Amino acid sequence: MAKKKNEQLQLDLEQTRERIIEADFVETMRKNYLDYSMSVIVSRAVPDVRDGLKPVQRRILYDMSELGTASDKPYRKSARIVGDTMGKYHPHGDSSIYGAMTVMAQDFKGNVPLVDGHGNFGSIEGDGAAAMRYTEARLTRFTEDVYLEGLKEDTIDLIPNFDATENEASVLPCKLPMALINGSEGIAVGMTTSIPPHNLRETIDAALYFEQHRGASTEELLEILKGPDFPTGGVVANREELADIYETGEGRIRIRGKVEIEKMKGGKSALVITEIPYTMVGQGIEKFLLDVASLVESKILTQISDISNQSSREGIRLVLELKHGADEDAERIKNILYKKTKLEDTFPVSNLVISDGKPAIMSLKDMLDAFWNFQYEVTTRRTRHLLGKARARAEVVDGLILAVDVIDTIIAVLRGSSNVAQAKKCLMTGNTEGINIKTKIARSQAEKFRFSEAQATAILEMRLSKLIGLEIKALMSEQKELKKKIDHLELMLSDDGVMFKSIADELLRIRDTYGTDRKTLITTEAPAQIEVVEEPETEVVVLMDRFAYVHSIDAAVYEKNKEACDTEFKSVIHTTNRSKVVAFTDTGHMYSIKTSEIPAGKLRDKGQPLDNISGYDSRSENLVGLFPVSGEGHLVFITTDGLAKAVPFSEFDISRKISDATKLKEGARVLSVFVFNEKAQVILHTAAGFFARLDQAEITPKLRNTMGAILITLNDGDELDMAVPVSGASSPFEYGGKEYSADRIKLLKRKTKGVKARL
C-alpha cells in the first residue's frame, strides 16, 4: 500500500515538473510591462489620427448611434447611455465613460461639441457635472453629419467587442481631421498627447491646399492654418516659433488672456479680462484671482483696489479695479500679471497619435497626409458599396421593365403554376414543365424567359399598380438615373481626380455649414518683463516674536520704542530693505529670505509666520535662529550630541533659497545657533541634569560642510537640551522659567562631562 502511494507521489511530482515553465524574471517583467504600456497607449489614452477619438469616446458615439439618440430625437438619460456603453463596449467603469461624455458636451473644451448635453455638464470655472442620473444627452447634428454618416455603408471594419457578443467600430468614418480641430489631451505610460484645437474652417482650407500642393512647406500651410484656435480665445504670443512646432509635432505655445482697459464711474479704470488662456479652464480662474489677491497683499500690485469675478453665460469677465491715477501704469500691471500669474502660460504640444496601430508623433503635414489616406480609403469603400447597391437595383428595374412588356405571359405562367417555386424557376430558366399554360404562343414566350434570381423575386413581389402608365414611366426614369449613378461611381473608382472633387465638395459643404470665425489671436509678443523700480535703501528692523511671527518696522520707529522691542520680541535684527536675513532650523537647513518679502507694518502688528515666508516645514523642523546677512564674523552651531563649531559667515550661500548649513550625525539635531564672541561664554545643560559653563574661545572654527568638535562629553542615552550664550560670569540666563547668574555654573574646559548643580 505504501509502495503504491510513493509511486503515485512520484508520478504527481513528475507531472508537476512538466507544467513548470522556466522564465527569466527580468525579461518576463519587461515584456509584460511593455504589453501593458501598449495596451494603455493604444486602447485608452491616445487618439487615433483617423477620427481623432480615443476608444472610450468612439464607443460612446457608436453606442449613442445604436441607441438612436439622434439630434432630432428626445434626450436620453446619461446613465442609460453610460450603462449601455459599459455593458457592450467599454468595461472600465462608469466614471471614465461619463467623464469622457461630459468633455465631449463642453463647448469650452473642444471647438465643436460632439454630444448635445441637457442639464448641468459643468462650467469653465471648474464646477463638476451633475450626476449621470440627472443629466440627459443626445448626438449633435455635427456628429451625425461628420462622424456617423456612412457608418452602415461598409466604410469601416467592425470588430468583436471585449466578450465577442457584439460588434463595434474599429474607427468612425470621420470626414474631417478632427484630431486637429478638437485637439486632444491624454496621459499614457511614458508618453503624453497634447494636441491644441484648431479652427474648423482654416483646417479644411489647409487640408484642401495640402492635397493639391503636396510639396507645400509648413510655412505655406501656416499661411492658411494660422495656428491654434482655442475655444476660450486668448492670444498666442509666439507666432515665430509655430513653424518649428508644426514641423516637428512638438514644442510649447505661449498663450495669454485678453486684457482690456475700461473706464469706470468716478474716473477710475479697470483691467477687464474677457478671454482666458486655455490652460486656465477649470480651477485656474479661482487660482488666478487668489494669486492676484496675494500680489496685492504682498504689495507687488499696490495699484489694484478691488477684484471681482463678473463672469456669466455671456462669457468671461474678471474685473481688476485700479486706484485713481493707476491707469497710467496699466501696461506694467499687465506685465506683472503675465509674469506672476497664469494669465500667461505655455501649452505643451505633443502630436502623439495612433497611426497604423502604433503611437507616433506627427507633424502637421503627416497628420494631413494621414487624413487624406483615410478619406480615400473610406470614400473608395463607400463608393464600392453604393455601386453594388446601384447595380443590384438597376438589375431589378431592368427586369421589371422587361416584365411589363410580357406581363400577359407572366400572368399565364403564374396562373398555371402550382406553387411559387415552380413559377420562379420558369422565370429564371424558361422551364414550363408541369405549368398549365393555355396557349402555345404563351408557352413559347415563357420558354424564352431568362430573368435573374433578383429579377424573378421582384417580379413575383410586383404589385399590379406597377402596370399603370405613370408607374412604368417612373421605372424607366429610375433606370436612366441609375445608369448615370453607376457611370459616376465607376468613374470615381477609376479616376482619382473625380474622387478628390467628391471629397472636396463634401468638405466645402461642411465648412460652409459649421465653420466659425477664429477666436484666438496669433501674434508675436516678447515674454513679459517686469521693470524693477528699486525703492531707496532704508534701514529697517525685523522683529520676530516667540511664536515665530515676523514683520519689519522703520529704524526710526524702533529707536523710539527700543526698550519695548528688546523686551517683547525674541529676535530684533537691524538690516536694510534691500538686504536679506537667514533662518536656521534644527535639521541643519538654512533659509535665505529677502527683507522685502517680510511684511512691513506697525510696531504692534502681528506679522506673518516665518515658515510661510521662508518655506521651511514647521511640522518637521524647528527654528533655532534668525540672523542678518553679514560677510564678517562666525556663527556657532551646537548640536544635541554635544558637538560644536564656529563657521565663518562667508561660508554660507545666501543666493540659494534653501541650503545645508551644517553636517549632522544620524539622529542629532541643531540645538542652538548664535553669533560667535571669543570673549563671551556659553552655558550647557544635558537631559540627565549636567551643567557646564565654557568660554566660547573653546569652540573650534570649522567649515560649513563638516561636523563639529566635541564640546561636552555625554553619557550613553544623554543629550544636550540647552545651549545659551552669555556675555560673562555675571550675566543672567534663564532656566526652568527662572533667571540665574551665570557664575552659579562652574567654568569648565572643552570635553568636560559637566557637573550636577542645584539652582
Instruction: Give me the active site residues, please.
Output: 134
**3-state secondary structure (DSSP) of residue 578:** coil
Q: CB 300: neighbour CB atoms within 10 A?
A: 14
CA nearest to 221, candidates 373, 13, 404, 366: 366
**3-state secondary structure (DSSP) of residue 729:** coil
- CB-CB contact of 609 with 549 (8 Å): yes
Q: CB 227: neighbour CB atoms within 10 A?
A: 24
One-character DSSP codes across 490-551: HHHHH-HHHHHHHHHHHHHHHHHHH-----SEE-B-PPP-----PPPP-EEEEEE-TT-EEE
Residues 6 or more apart whose CB falls under 8 angstroms from that of 514 comprise 112, 142, 145, 146, 200
The C-alpha atoms of residue 343 and residue 290 are separated, in whole angstroms, by 12
Do the strands 521-522 and 352-355 form a parallel or antiparallel pair, or are they unpaired?
unpaired
> Over 269-314, what HEC string results?
EEEEEEECCHHHCCCHHHHHHHHHHHHHHCCCCCCEEEEEECCECC
Q: How far is CA 748 from the centre of its chain?
A: 65
One-character DSSP codes across 33-58: HHHHHHHHIIIIIS-BTTT---HHHH
CA 595 vs CA 199, 544, 575, 598, 660: distances in Å: 49, 13, 8, 5, 21
The C-alpha atoms of residue 243 and residue 365 are separated, in whole angstroms, by 12
The C-alpha atoms of residue 86 and residue 93 are separated, in whole angstroms, by 7
Do the strands 235-236 and 521-522 form a parallel or antiparallel pair, or are they unpaired?
parallel
Residues 6 or more apart whose CB falls under 8 angstroms from that of 676 comprise 633, 634, 635, 636, 646, 696, 699
CA nearest to 227, candidates 245, 248, 204, 207: 245
Could you give the angle at which helices 364-405 and 496-514 cross, rounded to 10 degrees? 110
Burial of 16 (0-12, 13-18, 19+ CB in 10 A): exposed
- CB-CB contact of 619 with 708 (8 Å): no
The C-alpha atoms of residue 135 and residue 81 are separated, in whole angstroms, by 11
Q: CB 758: neighbour CB atoms within 10 A?
A: 6
* Strand locations in 605-731 (E): 608-609, 623-628, 634-639, 643-648, 658-660, 670-675, 681-686, 690-695, 709-710, 720-726
| C-alpha cell at position 664 | 549632522
| C-alpha cell at position 494 | 477609376
Handedness of CA 503, 509, 510, 515 (dihedral sign): positive
Residues 6 or more apart whose CB falls under 8 angstroms from that of 512 comprise none
What one-character DSSP code corresponds to residue 701?
B
One-character DSSP codes across 189-251: SS-EEEE----HHHHHHHHHHHHH-TT--HHHHHTTS-S---TT--EE-BGGGHHHHHHHTEE
| C-alpha cell at position 115 | 454630444
